[in-house]
Structure 1
Amino acid sequence: MAFYQLVQIVVVLLTGLVAGLFYSYACSVTGALGKLPDREYVMTFQSINTAILNAWFFVSFMGSLMVLPLATWLSYRAAVHFSFWLLLSATAVYIVGVFGVTILGNVPLNNMLERFNMDTATPQELSSLRERFERPWNQLNLIRTIAAILSFLLTILSLKLKT
């Protein structure tokens, strides 16, 4: 197996893992969290934000960010033109729609939640925090979920349509 083919397989795997993570979160966790009272919602989300910061997540999330441009460049060098355009599109979608939305949107909201002091919070403060957090975070998560799925599909197509 050539290095280029190995990189293509890895990029499909990594983008698929990220798409699957965001998709499963959007389909299950968001709905379950939405049913919780404010205090439990904030506490649970704070716990999730801590738990997600692990090596497995970083390998797929940051790995996609690094391997997508590599796969794109290798496709360009191999003169696999249609595959190159698919991978270039997948890379752009991932960088802007997944990584960019996460770093510029979800992470600042997560940081706001992390700084919130649960010990001294009144019910009104909890409700206000949730109002400022929940809807924007879920909307951003939907955007990055769609972007991750699109990036994943483009990488799959790049394997199948090497013309």
Structure 2
Amino acid sequence: MSLLELVLILATLFCALTAGFAFAFTTVVMPGLGKLGDQAFIRGFQVIDGVIQAGQPVFGLVWIGSAVALLLSAVMGALQLYGIERVFLVASAIIYVVGVQVPTFRINVPLNNALQTLDVDAMDDDALASARRDFEARWVRWNAIRTVVASLVTVALLFVLLWL
């Protein structure tokens, strides 16, 4: 097994885990939280996000590791591969960064951070409803996009692995 294959396997695994994480939020976590009232919704999301922001090491390794391993495999692939394998690998890395990592750090994380600053016990019903409106639909939409992109990239990486 070559170093490229090893890095590509790691990138594929981490992208698949990232897709699964986003998928779980899309299909279970957010619909579940969505059934709660505004205060419970915000508090519930704050707690879940708090685990991530506290530096949960496995999550950080997988989420950031997916981009690092994929970019490394794309650079290696650009130097070592030819034809459709090279195109799929390099395109997958670009699409993943633009469709998963950029929205994460430009949209989802800032929304998370804004929600983390709220003191739900000190807010009235109108303020809670407004905060939820400002957060929920946009966060859910962009997480769905991240889910689709990460899933499609994972499939593309599996094809590259099969072609090697």
- With normalisation by structure 2, the TM-score equals 0.94
Q: Output the aligned Cα RMSD.
A: 1.1
What is the CA-CA distance between 1:79 and the residue it aligns to? 2.8
In structure 1, the partner of 2:149 is 147
What does 1:1-163 align with in structure 2 at a 5 Å threshold? 1-53=1-53, 54-162=56-164
Q: Percent identity?
A: 31
- With normalisation by structure 1, the TM-score equals 0.94
What is the CA-CA distance between 1:80 and the residue it aligns to? 3.5
The separation in 2 between residues aligned to 1:70 and 1:82, in whole angstroms, is 18
Q: Flag structure 1 segments of 5+ consecutive residues without an equivalent.
A: none
Greater mean alpha carbon deviation, residues 113-122 or residues 129-138 = 113-122
- Runs ≥4 residues deviating over 6 A: none
What is the CA-CA distance between 1:119 and the residue it aligns to? 2.7
Letter in 2 for 1:51: V
Task: Give deviations 1:17-36, integer Å, cap 9, x for gaps.
Answer: 10111112111111101100
What is the CA-CA distance between 1:81 and the residue it aligns to? 2.8
Letter in 2 for 1:139: R
Q: Flag structure 2 segments of 5+ consecutive residues without an equivalent.
A: none
